Amino acid sequence: MFGIPAFDPGLHSGENLAARNPELLEPILKAVRWASRHYFRTEISGWENLPSSGRMLLVGNHNGGFASPDMFIFFTSWHDRFGQTRPLYAIAHSGVIEDIPLAASFLTTAGAVKGTRENALQVLKHDNASLMVYPGGGVDLFRPFSDRYKIELAGHMGFIRLALEAQVPIVPVVSCGAHESTIILSSNRGLMKKLGLNRRGVPVWPLMLGIPWGPVLFPAPSLPLPTRVQIHIEQPISLEVYSPQDAEDEGVVRKIYNQVRWRMQARMTELAGKRRYPAFA
């Protein structure tokens, strides 16, 4: 269907790196390229900041609800630029891969792996492979429209420990604009905390305004608005002065986490200041 390979439990389990084969998704990639160029008028800068070779952990901010157009645009652009010479993998929510076979087929073929420490380290053992993580998860993905220019990593620091343990540089990737494609009126994050649902894996329950549903009190897929998307790749943050054992040092982990977040927020603020309004003009 739509160029998505048939589900194979062994191949598309989210733990088999051999599942990655973006060429099989060419009909979808073609549509993403068109949307990137004509619908979102995407600008990607900073390719020169990437190390010329070697392993790395890319850290991005999540935008746009279920549509998250900038994520698909970035992965397609990476594939078009590097092909199979520098494979890019990504951490995906375990529940999506385990419970939705069609999504599992698509995501693992694109390069997703199930979100476990073991899978992440498996990727970063390969000399020229890169791993993309979105630490903010659903909290970031469904943050309110009023926070569209806020870097929300949700206090999740596992990616710092991963980079320290694997001894790879961290490359922040900042995306601005895609969160204007879906209007999230409220994430109801505070309510989820009061109800204790955040401890059960439900950190947000968004109130959204989207096409064609109008206002809905659940994360419904909607048609993203044609807002302009800007993506910038930051210079790597080297961790060479640290050792793998520093992954257990809370002070070191928090220091690097703050450095990543501040760097990303500074770039987001700069990109936001260059935007024209309305964003789809």
Each residue's pLDDT tens digit, 212-270: 888 888 767 788 999 999 999 999 999 999 999 999 999 999 999 999 999 999 999 99
- Percentage of residues in the chain with pLDDT exceeding 70? 97
What DSSP assignment string belongs to the chain? -TTPPPP-TTTTSSS-GGG--GGGGHHHHHHHHHIIIIIS--EEE-GGGS-SSS-EEEEE---STTT-HHHHHHHHHHHHHHTTSS-EEEEE-HHHHHH-HHHHHHHHHHTEEES-HHHHHHHHTSTT-EEEE-TTHHHHHT--GGGTT----TT--HHHHHHHHHT--EEEEEEESGGGSSEEEE--HHHHHHHTGGGGT-----EEEEBTTEEESS----BPP----EEEEPPPB--TTS-GGGGG-HHHHHHHHHHHHHHHHHHHHHHHHT--SSTT-
pLDDT for 45 beyond 80: yes
pLDDT for 278 beyond 60: no
Who wins on pLDDT, 198 or 48?
Answer: 48
Q: What is the pTM of this model?
A: 0.93
Assess contact for 105 and 7: CB atoms under 8 A. Answer: yes
pLDDT at 213: 82
pLDDT at 277: 67
pLDDT at 4: 87
Assess contact for 105 and 4: CB atoms under 8 A. Answer: yes
pLDDT for 105 beyond 70: yes
How close are the terminal C-alpha atoms of the chain, in Å? 34
For residue range 195-218, what is the model confidence (pLDDT) as tens digits? 898 888 889 889 888 888 888 887
Write the CA distances from 148 to 2, 63, 103, 205, 241, integer angstroms.
31, 8, 26, 17, 34
For residue range 20-37, what is the model confidence (pLDDT) as tens digits? 999 999 999 999 999 999
pLDDT mean over 44-62:
95
**Predicted confidence band at 93 (pLDDT cuts at 50, 70, 90)?**
confident
* Cα gap 210→171, rounded to integer Å: 32
**Predicted confidence band at 281 (pLDDT cuts at 50, 70, 90)?**
low
pLDDT mean over 72-82:
97
Share the mean pLDDT of the chain.
Answer: 92
Q: Which amino acid is at 243?
A: S
pLDDT at 279: 63
pLDDT mean over 117-126:
94
For residue range 165-185, what is the model confidence (pLDDT) as tens digits? 999 999 999 999 999 998 999
**Predicted confidence band at 280 (pLDDT cuts at 50, 70, 90)?**
low
Which among 107, 72, 66 has a CA at the least distance from the CA of 221?
Answer: 66
pLDDT at 210: 80
pLDDT at 222: 82
pLDDT mean over 123-136:
93
